[in-house]
Amino acid sequence: MVNYNGKPYHSLDYHLREVFHDKVYKIALDAGTTCPNRDGKIDTRGCIFCSLGGSGDFASSRKLSITSQIESGIRSISEKYNGHKFIAYFQAFTGTYGDKNYLRECYLEAIRHPDIVCLSIATRPDCIDEDILKILDECNHIKPVWIELGLQTINEDTARYIRRGYPLSVFDKAVRDLRSINIDVIVHTIIGLPGETFDDMKATICYLAKCDIQGIKLQLLHVLKRTDLLTDYENGLFQTLSLEEYTDIIIKLIELLPENIVIHRITGDGPKSILVSPTWSSNKKYVLNYIHKEFKLRGAYQGKYYRRRF
């Protein structure tokens, strides 16, 4: 049975200590990018669950320079951490979408900061082109670069419902292209999407278990204020998961993942001010303790039901 510093799965915390030999915190940054799913290139409405902050609700103000955002992030963490190792996380909207020269400057400004040990960029697979790959390759030769791809599900019907705006083949190509230049790929998934059964979620996880990815975020579906998802929720078109249901699902899914895939997140992180449902998820400490306790009671661990086929 695996044991990563007391956790039954390969957690991000454990991974960061292994790689950087210290506790490492993320600083959420906003380069002022937008998203093709909001600016009209694909759609104007955004993904059905996306908040007005473009899923970057914890980032600093986009009016500040990248260096100022990093300094401000370091100051706000300084009460609990006085180390010098941080990840520059371009979280808001689509971090590889926009003027390439401008993006290159932003990434280089972040990666050259002495306290930054790694650059992580959240984006869409359809926003990884040749120019971006060249820039990422350049950055990856300075410090490690991670790309976080918002996939959410492999189910094409659900993908249409959430207005993801690209087919699975685009994700597959982005993973291949990024891996060809040794960029670590982290995939965002959402657990509890409307209409999805456990078998649908399992299909997504089993698919990813065999992809050349290095990390995964398992994110509980949140219903946030001022989203179209809230309208469907209020109209009774779906329900959100209870803590007990979510725990049961998340444990079974983690058992299907190979141990080498780092688990960056096993719950949600929605800002309390705009969270409508499920409200239990706002007590993150309690939720994590509950899930970890249940792992123990069941004798569950990452990779328990994963079998390598090569």
Residue closer to ligand SF4 by CB (options 8, 46) is: 46
Position 124 contacts ligand SF4 (CB under 6 A):
yes
> Site residues for ligand SF4, window 130-189 (CB under 6 A)?
150
Least distance (Å) from ligand SF4 to the CB of residue 109?
Answer: 22
- Closest to 49 in 3D by CA, of 153, 146, 126, 147: 153
3-class secondary-structure state, position 25: strand
Least distance (Å) from ligand SF4 to the CB of residue 36?
Answer: 7
| Distance from the first to the final alpha carbon of the chain | 21
Residue closer to ligand SF4 by CB (options 26, 38) is: 38
Least distance (Å) from ligand SF4 to the CB of residue 35?
Answer: 3
Of 31-39, 68-76, 222-230, 282-290, the window that binds ligand SF4 (rule: CB under 6 A) is 31-39
d(CA 174, CA 181): 11
Position 94 contacts ligand SF4 (CB under 6 A):
yes
* Residues 208, 214, 220, 225, CA torsion sign: negative
Residue closer to ligand SF4 by CB (options 92, 256) is: 92
Of 35-43, 80-88, 203-211, 225-233, the window that binds ligand SF4 (rule: CB under 6 A) is 35-43
Element (H, E) at 276: strand 275-277
Least distance (Å) from ligand SF4 to the CB of residue 162?
Answer: 8
Angle at 120 between CA 111 and CA 142, to 5 degrees: 35
Residue closer to ligand SF4 by CB (options 8, 150) is: 150
Site map (CB under 6 A) of ligand SF4, residues 36-55, x = contact: -xx-------xx--x---xx
- Closest to 188 in 3D by CA, of 223, 240, 147, 224: 147
Residue closer to ligand SF4 by CB (options 94, 96) is: 94
- The one-letter amino acid code at 16 reads L
Least distance (Å) from ligand SF4 to the CB of residue 227?
Answer: 10
Q: Which of 4, 89, 93, 166 binds ligand SF4 (CB under 6 A)?
A: 93
Angle at 59 between CA 272 and CA 51, to 5 degrees: 50
Residue closer to ligand SF4 by CB (options 167, 305) is: 167
DSSP letters of 222-255? -EETTSHHHHHHHTTS--PPPHHHHHHHHHHHHH
d(CA 208, CA 174): 14
Least distance (Å) from ligand SF4 to the CB of residue 164?
Answer: 7
Residue closer to ligand SF4 by CB (options 18, 99) is: 99
Q: Which residues, other chains included, contact 96 with Cβ-Cβ below 8 Å and sequence gap of 6+? A: 33, 103, 121, 123, 124, 127, 128, 132, 136, 147
Residue closer to ligand SF4 by CB (options 192, 303) is: 192
Using CB under 6 A as the binding criterion, the count of chain residues that bind ligand SF4 stands at 12
DSSP letters of 94-112? -TT-S-HHHHHHHHHHHHT
Least distance (Å) from ligand SF4 to the CB of residue 59?
Answer: 12
By the criterion CB under 6 A, which residues form the site for ligand SF4? Answer: 35, 37-38, 46-47, 50, 54-55, 93-94, 124, 150
